[in-house]
């Protein structure tokens, strides 16, 4: 493994950040929960475009798991992660302990209202409060110029952008496109928990996005009709249970009007049962696509 500095203390990372900034070097942070896959590595490549020094944090943040079983089962392979980060040319890895980021008696939360009420925020109470709190801590620790997140977590990107703007972090938030398996499944650290049959049925998410996109391309604008197509695709997968499928404004995340006008975010979350009873727990997958007029062309 190349010589990859591993920092575990906030103070040490801040001192490094001060030195880099004083030398006029730009820092990009890629926050991760480890279990790195090609999606994370694409974030590192994106970060490299924006900075002289690319830092990755690896921290499985307990406060963003609304389900303790999900937290306990979250895949951890730190040695492999560090090797991948080094190969990818990451300059510094920040691996704090939970005690380092949540000091004894910690009772401070960063909370974004409004944007967090819907979609994953409605399904996972407290999830985004955990995300914004830990991202605030990571940004304060790394003092980056840029932070890069994956667009698969579309709502997370929107919430973090809002937090960074509202509090004035002075950090640019870059959202990088979702990386997919050859068959279309969005990469996720949770995919490893899918049994072979659930893995096949997980393609229902991308089929649902494709069906809605094709309908919009044919001129369909009826929100209910589009969502019915999405539900039909998910319902066709016996192991799948739809958590939510929504069409919303890509900026405010407010529900799209009954007749779509302009670009709309189609976001969905689906829970997959184990292939057979007793073969692991349920696996929750999310995916999304912006439908309709290209937002950048508006």
Catalytic annotation present for 37: no
Residue range at the interface with its own copies (CB under 8 A); choices 34-42, 71-79, 96-104, 270-278: 96-104
Q: How far is the CB of 206 from its own copies (least distance, A)?
A: 32
Q: How far is the CB of 147 from its own copies (least distance, A)?
A: 14
> Which residue of 2, 3, 24, 296 would you call a contact of its own copies, by CB under 8 A?
24
Catalytic residue among 40, 127, 145, 193, which? 40
In the structure encoding, which two tokens stand for residue 91, read together?
A: 């300059």
Spatial CB neighbours of 21, under 8 Å, sequence gap ≥ 6? 27, 143
Rounded Cα distance, 253 and 273, in Å: 28
Q: Which is nearer to its own copies, 16 or 199 (CB)?
A: 16
The label of the residue with tokens 């998910």 reads: 234
Size of the site for its own copies (CB under 8 A): 35
Helix, coil or strand: residue 180: strand
* Nearest one of 70, 71, 116 to 98, comparing CA atoms: 71
> Which residue of 113, 294, 296, 298 would you call a contact of its own copies, by CB under 8 A?
113
Is residue 6 near its own copies by the rule CB under 8 A? Answer: no
Is residue 122 near its own copies by the rule CB under 8 A? Answer: no
**Full strand arrangement of the beta sheet holding 264-272:** 240-248, 264-272, 283-291
> Which residue of 3, 108, 294, 298 would you call a contact of its own copies, by CB under 8 A?
108
Q: Which is nearer to its own copies, 18 or 235 (CB)?
A: 18
Please report, for residues 136, 216, 260, 289, the alpha-carbon distance to residue 132 in angstroms, rounded to integers and kept in the order given. Answer: 6, 33, 30, 23
Is residue 99 near its own copies by the rule CB under 8 A? Answer: no
Helix, coil or strand: residue 30: strand
Residue range at the interface with its own copies (CB under 8 A); choices 75-83, 105-113, 205-213, 257-265: 105-113
In the structure encoding, which two tokens stand for residue 174, read together?
A: 């870059």
Torsion of CA 294, 170, 159, 255, to 10 degrees: -40
Interacting residues toward its own copies by CB under 8 A: 10-11, 14, 18, 21-22, 24, 101-103, 105-115, 132-133, 136-137, 140-141, 162-163, 165-170
């Amino acid at each position: 493994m190349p010589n990859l500095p591993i920092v575990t203390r906030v103070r040490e990372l801040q001192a490094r950040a001060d030195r880099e900034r004083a030398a006029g070097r730009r820092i990009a942070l890629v926050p991760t929960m480890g279990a790195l896959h090609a999606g994370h590595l694409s974030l590192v490549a994106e970060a490299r475009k924006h900075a002289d020094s690319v830092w990755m944090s690896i921290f499985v943040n307990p406060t963003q798991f609304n389900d303790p079983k999900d937290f306990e089962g979250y895949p951890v392979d730190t040695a492999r992660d560090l090797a991948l980060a080094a190969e990818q040319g990451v300059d510094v890895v920040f691996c704090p302990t939970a005690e380092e980021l949540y000091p004894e008696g910690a009772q401070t939360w960063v909370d974004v209202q409004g944007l967090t009420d819907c979609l994953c925020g409605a399904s996972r109470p407290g999830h985004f409060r955990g995300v914004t709190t830990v991202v605030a801590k990571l940004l304060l620790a790394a003092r980056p110029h840029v932070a890069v997140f994956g667009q698969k977590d579309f709502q997370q990107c929107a919430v973090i952008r809002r937090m960074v703007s509202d509090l004035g972090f002075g950090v640019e938030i870059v959202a990088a496109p979702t990386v997919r398996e050859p068959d279309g499944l969005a990469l996720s650290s949770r995919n490893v928990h899918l049994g072979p049959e659930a893995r096949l049925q997980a393609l229902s998410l991308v089929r649902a996005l494709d069906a809605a996109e094709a309908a919009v391309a044919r001129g369909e604008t009826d929100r209910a009709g589009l969502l019915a197509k999405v539900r039909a695709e998910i319902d066709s997968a016996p192991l799948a249970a739809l958590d939510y499928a929504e069409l919303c404004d890509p900026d405010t995340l407010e529900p799209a009007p009954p007749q779509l006008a302009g670009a709309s975010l189609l976001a969905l979350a689906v829970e997959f049962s184990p292939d057979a009873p007793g073969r692991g727990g349920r696996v929750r997958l999310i995916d999304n696509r912006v439908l309709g007029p290209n937002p950048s062309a508006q």
